[in-house]
Amino acid sequence: MIADPDDRVPTEDEVQELCEKLAKLAGEHDLTIATAESLTAGNLASQLGRATSSGDWYCGGVIAYRKEVKYSLLKVPEGPVVSEEAALAMARSTAELMGANLAVAVTGEAGPEPQEDKEPGTVWFGVFDHGSVDATKRVFDGDPPDVLAATVAASVRILVDRAKSSGG
């Protein structure tokens, strides 16, 4: 079986290159972008904030590490927070809070021990894109730092893909 190149742990330079691509697309399509993070604990926001002209297109982000914060601030329904429902609510609420037209939310289990009966490496990505919301699940291999790095890179790839298809 051939590994998906998106599943390997990206280098710092590769992530920054993706962020620069996103910055260019955001400017071209008049996008305002926001993030909601759980397992990545602000690492995604840090990467986006380093990109060119980020103050023009990156609205900001919410770090909701504890489930109580997800429930109260991001309107996640009571129950499991490593779930499609949580990712959807996080993306929608963050876009509304920040006034963004594109947002990505990540919630998951980096490991090494399972949480909520979820396999370590399980990550849900919620995306708010000009009023519509959807979610996808990925399972990454590796130890917690590898899962975190893969999640950040996958989040930026999602934003780049949505920005490419955006009519602005």
Which residues are within 8 A (CB) of 95 and not within 5 positions of it... i.e. 6 or more apart? 34, 101, 102, 103, 128
DSSP lists the bridge partners of residue 62 as 36
- 145 CB neighbour count, 10 Å cutoff: 10
Look at 105 and 1; give whichever has higher pLDDT. Answer: 105
Residue 146 has pLDDT above 60, yes or no: yes
Q: How confident is the model at residue 113 (pLDDT cuts 50, 70, 90)?
A: confident
Superfamily of domain 11-165: CinA-like (3.90.950.20)
Summarize pLDDT for 1-31 with one digit per residue, the tens. 334 545 667 788 999 999 999 999 999 999 9
The SS3 call for residue 95 is: helix
Summarize pLDDT for 34-46 with one digit per residue, the tens. 999 999 999 999 9
Question: How distant, in Å, are the alpha carbons of 20, 27, 32, 57, 62 from that of 53?
Answer: 9, 9, 12, 7, 20
State the pTM of this model: 0.93
Q: What is the pLDDT of residue 1?
A: 35
Q: What is the pLDDT of residue 117?
A: 84
